[in-house]
Structure 1
Amino acid sequence: MAALTKFQADQKLDLQYPGTIGPKTLAALGIAEPVAESLTPWIALAQRKMGLHEVRDNKALKDFLKSDGHALGDPAKLPWCGDFVETCIAVSLPREPMIDNRYWALNWPKFGVEVSKASPVMGAAER
């Protein structure tokens, strides 16, 4: 993360969240962004919702989080990261078996099937 932040500063990238990777950093690295069609459906949906803010975009975010039939509550008052992942998966992969307590972000490493550390895929987390 330190090397990434230094690279971004050296490139004088105007970023809202230095130390994260997005379109500006990828372009500076000469890497094309993944095409949405090549992503897993839930990652593609998550990318389309990126940038929603719990206060500024409260209604739109609440509506999205409820789009799977339920939601944890007001994202301006509650941590909503687990709810966001759950909604993306439930809406785009409705037959996917869900984990218990899906609103707790630390439960998400229990989701899905393990992939090889030698060939990770977009949306996978190391266990």
Structure 2
Amino acid sequence: MNVIGNNISALSAFGTQMSVTSNNIANVNTDGFKRSRTVLEEGQNSSVTPRVEKINTPGPLVQESSETGEMRELSNVDLAQEITSTIPTQRGYEANLKMVQTKDEMLGKVIDMKA
């Protein structure tokens, strides 16, 4: 049963990763927004633990007005990078979900054989 727990922890971690990416995409046009990223780490008993960290690199600077010369910082989110990062996240989620489904089917067949 530990295998199912590991797959469920991975599903949760991939969900967190997708939420962080979604938040970054939603704030791509928010001035001064700093993107976050999710690092997946091995936890206890080979479970998957997400660690979210803020990326404090500066965003591009644009001139607010030509009269005052004021500059404003845009978001440091790279939309192309965020969107492409959703592909392996989705595939990882699907693979772990398939493992849980397969384990469930196998247990069902074992129970049917015992009955």
Is TM-score (shorter-chain normalized) higher than 0.5? no
Structure with higher Rg: it is 2
TM-score (norm 1): 0.23
TM-score (norm 2): 0.24
**Bigger proportion of residues as helix:** 2
Whose RCO is larger (CA < 8 A, sep 6+)?
2
**Bigger proportion of residues as strand:** 2
